Amino acid sequence: MIKGARKPWYKKRAFSAMLLLLVNPLQAEWKLPDSFQIHGFASQAFILSTDNNFFGGSKDNGTFDFRELGINASWRILPRLQVAAQGVARWAGENDEGSPRLDYGLVDYAFVSNAKNTWGLRLGRVINPIGFYNDTRDVAFTRPSIFLPQSIYFDRTRDVALSADGGQVYGEQRTSIGDFILQFNIAKPRVGTREERALLSHDFPGQLKGDTSVFGRLLYEKDGGGIRLGFSSFWANFDFDSALSTDSISSGSIEFSPLIFSGQYNGERLSLTSEVALRHFSYSDFGPRIPDTDFTGLSWYFQATYRFTPRWSAVARFDSLCTELGDCNGEDFAAKTGQPAHRRFADDWMVGLRWDVTSSIMVRTEFHHIRGTAWITTEDNPNINDLHEDWNMFSLLVSFRF
């Protein structure tokens, strides 16, 4: 083509059509169905603590090592058939270094759906029905605070608690006295190195696997959620295949079977929430390194949220964890193991403030005063003898969603 000559008309049209397609893809013939939805979120936090590290090197100078990125999609193929999935990358200090994972991916079919009843089945990687907040713990906007109450919703074992591979039967009965919601899962928990360190206190040669487990929850809601009551429980099984030829640690099994009682009041401005959990553990066949043991712990919290305006709210909470009833101060544990007694308990006083800048941007800040180190990870604190029983933590989080 001669320099300075005009482009042929058909090339101009092709270029214009391509530009229009890129700028406004919904005008293309292949536009997505109306029932297809896609959403995402991103969060970045700063954490500063005294004496002990949490989610990275937070001690003294603070850390930006806590961030979350996620995208989810759902498509209602038929009025009673839906598919949904969510992928996440999460950074939380040495305990979680951003490896992408599938939080959930499922097919949902409602056998019955009318004004009074809903009954259905979900298959795939399904959310575990645990307490009030496990269903929505993945998105910062839906959590009551930057960090959930660690006595019940441990962040160090987030993945194994969040979802499992299997199926869920669910139902909802709407009556004149309130709504009853039932969920029942049969699935295998997701287990990795993080969960092995949390459950066995070490990454031993071999592999920890989730075995067939059951999860269940019954919720009661009155006045559109003004009053909420719940009971949830599960029987989670884990098997460890040892790769060691010595008898220091053998192939063994773990059973975890907590009972969780939940209650919540939601007024125009004030919400009050409390949950209590009896957490039963049983370890067997691991050999002398981990003797057979059976114990029950107690976890509970009380939380108050006050909404000053639609965009500003404050939260206060007391959260308490006792790893083993009868030894809540950890003295017997310390005498047997030589580890600090404060590794067996944690009492956390927290106050926080939330600002919804827009419907898509949220800023949160909170302060914790903590006595005990039961939910601190050894990945961020490799020398547990350097841990301090009393410590403070400040955090600031900015979150975006679309």
Please write down the long-range contacts of 369-372, taking CB distance under 8 Å and 24 or more positions apart: 370/346, 371/342, 371/345, 371/346, 371/347, 372/321, 372/342, 372/344, 372/345, 372/346, 372/347
pLDDT digits (tens, 9 = 90+) for 201-238: 777 778 888 889 999 999 999 999 999 999 999 998 89
Q: Do 352 and 337 contact (CB within 8 A), yes or no?
A: no
Q: Do 332 and 304 contact (CB within 8 A), yes or no?
A: no
Q: How many CB atoms lie within 10 A of CB 210?
A: 20
pLDDT digits (tens, 9 = 90+) for 77-127: 999 999 999 999 999 988 788 889 999 999 999 999 998 999 999 999 999
pLDDT digits (tens, 9 = 90+) for 241-259: 887 766 678 888 889 999 9
Q: How many CB atoms lie within 10 A of CB 19?
A: 10
CA angle 326, 328, 330 (to 5 degrees): 105
Distance (Å, whole) CA 223 – CA 177 = 9
Which helix (H) or strand (E) element contains residue 199? Answer: helix 193-200
pLDDT confidence of 30, banded at 50, 70, 90?
low
Residue with more model confidence, 383 or 272? 272
Report DSSP state, residue 50: S
Distance (Å, whole) CA 165 – CA 104 = 9
Which residues, 6+ apart, have CB-to-CB distance to 154 below 8 Å? 161, 198, 375
Which helix (H) or strand (E) element contains residue 384? Answer: none
Q: Do 392 and 53 contact (CB within 8 A), yes or no?
A: no
Query: What pLDDT is recorded for position 246?
Result: 61
Query: What pLDDT is recorded for position 24?
Result: 52
Whether the full predicted model's pTM is greater than 0.85, yes or no, is yes
Distance (Å, whole) CA 305 – CA 270 = 6
Domains of the chain: 36-401 (2.40.160.10)
